[in-house]
Chains A and B, each alone.
Chain A
């Protein structure tokens, strides 16, 4: 397909664990086009982060990865360490949920950004420092000239996340993977971070893979959405289409379960999705959502639905 910066096909990730193999991601396919924001949503443990880490080659050795991840025409699965290292940072950059764990506490933020620039772009010390200040301004840090000399602990959570974004975009990557970039932050701070991501996409044309479980964040920023459930993508759609006409019963349930879906106290109950999130894909011959699904039919418990026309479901909504 032309125009796709990132093309994921039948990606499966299995972890070796003490209790035997654990299938965390099961035949996931995704595409991200130039300058597009793709949101991956789904609840805790459904495989969002594992999918994202495999896009940046960040999975631990206990993981077995199958399938294909093409970044700008280069296959990442099975690529050697050198290829991966040169791609990481330059082509694809990763922002983690908790910025404190990925910033080094003993160096100033200016030094850390400069290092990235010197290693990847071969800038001189002085040029790198100057560019670091520009990047801090780009992500909306006030008094960047002064802040460049701060240590991570001197910054608020929101500012640390901005620094992480500055580091991630330092080498002008084609794809930015943001794993719950605002989950740890307050809404007033979150609004600013989402704005930075929006501006980067507009100004630099960076494609963004945005991982979140917050449908408000999706509504704010995404062009397209992939909904994951128990290790699989169950629905993908353009964002307006997804909110207006969800096809998968799980997506429909999620949208209805949100208290702000036009309801007010006392007048309505929230939609509940009965039952529990299953342990990961262990029934190859059934829909993993079957025991919670209000639309389940016979075939759902005997045959696994595959993604077709944007939805993996035998009896989608609106049909």
Chain B
């Protein structure tokens, strides 16, 4: 038995010429929450979809607990389906409107029953569904309703109930709150945090909301253009971020406090984003990195451990003890705006 709920080794996913994911290695210890952050199009959802095998990776391995599921076919995957679930960003689009809420939530159990893999305590599916709904804060009567009669927050609770009903060891939550109203987001985040603590599943929490990361995650992995540039314990990523992109990301996220926010100077990277079809040679971040040197344009930086808790970074300028440039010290306050 390994201590990891998930191990990704050199995961590669190409869509024709699009190098969406290009060599991602990541481990999620059992029972812990790893946040995957990075900008739009950096490949976060693609990683998530490879893990639940909605996609078959081009290269590399996906290992769940002790099973290599990278290339299993549909039939061979079936016994592993209950071990990993996914919750999508868009609660409306991810629930079949022709089914009742009860059917949606109970479906994983019916599939398990067909294989004779349904545990005794869940034989009574309607009552298991009622339990699952109660657990996510919905009244069991909701089972009779259709998903379109529910609010966005309620629908997201339904997808969480469905995802957790098979007691998975790993939950992939792909931006579970970004489609929700601000006042509803907090309750879904609280719910995820409570369930995770009570049920102990491991979680890959995909998001671009850094404040939610700080609230939920044990570890953070930062993605840029198909690759991980830094990963490590939450306190280290927020406290001593080493990669220039991580530093820029943290400095750019505005904090909801006027005095604090106005005293900050975000690092401005310029917004000419390179494309995943033709990623820059050397360090992929060099076209936007404020401290790039010549070597960055030609030599790919290897990921190295630089601190406790497996804090890793891929940058030429970071020393082995984690020291190196902090781009936040040299923030350009003119914003590239002509003055």
Q: Which residues of A contact B (CB under 8 A)?
A: 43-44, 137-140, 142, 156-159, 162, 186-192, 194-196, 198-199, 203, 213-220, 222, 239-240, 243, 250, 253-255, 257-261, 263-265, 269-274, 276-277
When A192-B336, A257-B185, A272-B190 are in contact, do A265 and B153 touch as well, CB less than 8 Å? no
Complex: A261 Cα to B260 Cα, angstroms? 12
- Contacts A159-B271, A199-B335 known; A277 to B190 CB distance under 8 Å? no
Residues of chain B lying within 8 A (CB to CB) of residue A140: 335-338
**Sample of 24 A–B contacts (CB below 8 Å):** A140-B337, A140-B338, A142-B272, A142-B336, A188-B267, A190-B254, A191-B251, A195-B266, A195-B337, A215-B182, A216-B253, A219-B258, A219-B260, A219-B262, A220-B254, A240-B259, A243-B256, A250-B183, A257-B182, A258-B186, A259-B214, A265-B216, A271-B186, A274-B187
State in angstroms the CA–CA spacing of A258 and B256 once bound together. 8
Q: Is B330 close to A, CB under 8 A?
A: no
Instruction: Assess whether A190 is in contact with B252, with CB atoms less than 8 Å apart.
Output: yes
C-beta contact mask, B265-300 vs A, less than 8 Å → 1, else 0?
Answer: 011111111000000000000000000000000000
**Cα distance A142–B335 when bound, in Å?**
11
A211 vs B182: C-alpha distance in the bound complex, in angstroms?
A: 14
What residues of chain A lie closer than 8 Å to B182, measured between beta carbons?
43, 213, 215, 254, 257-258
Say yes or no for B217: interface residue by CB 8 A criterion. yes
Which residue of chain A has its CB nearest to the CB of B211? A260
**Known: A214-B254, A265-B217. Contact between A258 and B211, CB under 8 A?**
yes
**Chain A residues positioned under 8 Å from B151 (CB to CB):** 276
User: Distance in Å from the Cβ of A194 to the closest Cβ of chain B?
Assistant: 8
Q: Which residues of A contact B209 (CB under 8 A)?
A: 259
Asked if B208 lies at the interface with its beta carbon under 8 angstroms from chain A, I say yes
In the complex, the answer to whether A269 meets B256 with C-beta atoms within 8 Å is: no
Contacts of B248 in A (CB 8 A): 188
Size bin of chain B's contact surface: 35 or more
Minimum Cβ distance to chain B for residue A161 (Å): 9
Q: In chain B, what residue has the closest Cβ to A182? A: B254
Query: Are the CB atoms of B337 and A276 closer together than 8 Å?
Result: no
Q: Which residues of B contact A (CB under 8 A)?
A: 39-40, 151, 153, 181-187, 189-190, 193, 208-212, 214-218, 234, 248-249, 251-262, 266-273, 335-339
Query: Within the complex, which residue of B153, B183, B267 is in contact with A257, where a contact is CB–CB below 8 Å?
Result: B183
Given A138-B338, A196-B337, A260-B214, are A219 and B255 neighbors across the interface (CB < 8 Å)? yes
Knowing A186-B40, A188-B252, A264-B215, the reply to whether A156 touches B186 (Cβ < 8 A) is no
Given contacts A140-B338, A195-B335, contact A254 B183 (CB under 8 A): yes
* Contacting residue for B254 out of A142, A157, A159, A217, CB 8 A: A217
Could you tell me the distance between the alpha carbons of A259 and B217 in the complex, rounded to whole angstroms? Answer: 12
Further 8 A-B residue pairs, CB within 8 A, beyond A159-B271, A240-B258, A270-B189: A137-B338, A138-B337, A189-B271, A195-B266, A215-B256, A219-B257, A240-B259, A265-B218
C-alpha gap A277/B336 in the complex (Å): 40
Q: How far is the CA of A158 from the CA of B270 in the complex (A)?
A: 9
B residues in contact with A243, CB < 8 Å = 256-258
B216 cross-chain contacts in A, Cβ below 8 A: 265
**Which residues of chain B are within 8 angstroms of A157 by Cβ–Cβ distance?**
271
B153–A219 CB distance below 8 A: no
B212 contacts which of A43, A250, A259 (Cβ < 8 Å)? A259
Q: A156-B273, A199-B335, A219-B254 are in contact. Are A43 and B268 (CB under 8 A)?
A: no
- A142-B336, A257-B182, A257-B185 are known contacts. Are A188 and B249 too (CB-CB below 8 A)? yes
Residue of B nearest to A218 (CB): B256
B214:A272 contact, CB within 8 angstroms: no
- Sorted nearest first, the 7 A-B pairs with minimum C-beta distance are A216-B254, A158-B271, A195-B335, A260-B211, A215-B256, A257-B186, A191-B266
Q: How far is the CA of A217 from the CA of B258 in the complex (A)?
A: 9
| Cβ-defined contact, B254 with A272, below 8 A | no
How close is B86's CB to chain A, nearest CB, in angstroms?
A: 22
Q: Is the CB of B214 within 8 A of A277?
A: no
CB distance from B306 to the nearest CB of A (A): 23
Q: How far, in whole Å, are A315 and B221 apart by their CA atoms in the complex?
A: 45
- Bound complex: CA A154 to CA B214 (Å): 36
Which of A142, A162, A189, A217 gathers most chain B CB within 10 Å?
Answer: A189
Distance in angstroms from B64 CB to nearest chain A CB is 25
Smallest CB–CB gap between B151 and chain A, Å?
5
Chain B residues, CB < 8 A from A191: 251-252, 254, 266-268
The answer, among B217, B252, B255, B272, for a CB contact under 8 Å with A260, is: B255
